[in-house]
Amino acid sequence: MNISLFLRHLFRHCRASGFSLLEILIALALMAGGGAFVAGKIFDLYYEGQKNSAKIQMQNLAERLKEFRRHCGQYPSTEQGLRSLIEKPSSTPECTRWNPDGYIEGGQLPKDPWDEDFVYESDGKTFNIYSLGTDKAEGGIDKDADIYLNEKQAP
């Protein structure tokens, strides 16, 4: 009999108690703040992944350019561009060992993680490749900064 009175009292107390609107709003605000923090971290990780992907693609292009140089004696000029890896440049007639299949499998230049072309600069002896990054414009700071294969030297 004591147990049934205890259970009746317990259920009556549980039905009467609950959360106030203020307590619910505080809990929602805390969850929203935590969610914003987690989302920010996820976006940071996503950007780092894109940046690393761009660097890996540029390193792969650099390897293809080195192979081009072994066959042609110099890197393609800025004007000839990366297109020289899939089509023999007509302005380099002395390049008799150019690979007739090109230097990139599939015959298509890769795009950066933001679906833009990589920028290529060369004087024939050295080269640099870079991506314009998230803002798709030259320059920028933080996440909008350009991503270089070889960091650009100050003049």
The partner residues of 85 in beta bridges, in order of sequence, read none
Write down the pTM of the prediction. Answer: 0.73
88-142: pLDDT as tens digits: 887 766 777 888 888 998 889 999 999 999 999 999 899 999 999 989 888 888 8
22-32: pLDDT as tens digits: 888 898 898 88
Cα 127 from Cα 43, distance rounded (Å): 32
53-81: pLDDT as tens digits: 999 999 999 999 999 999 888 999 999 99
CATH architecture for the domain at 21-148: 2-Layer Sandwich (3.30)
Domain map (residue ranges) of the chain: 21-148
Amino acid (1-letter code) at residue 33: G
Cα 40 from Cα 3, distance rounded (Å): 52
133-154: pLDDT as tens digits: 989 888 888 888 899 998 764 3
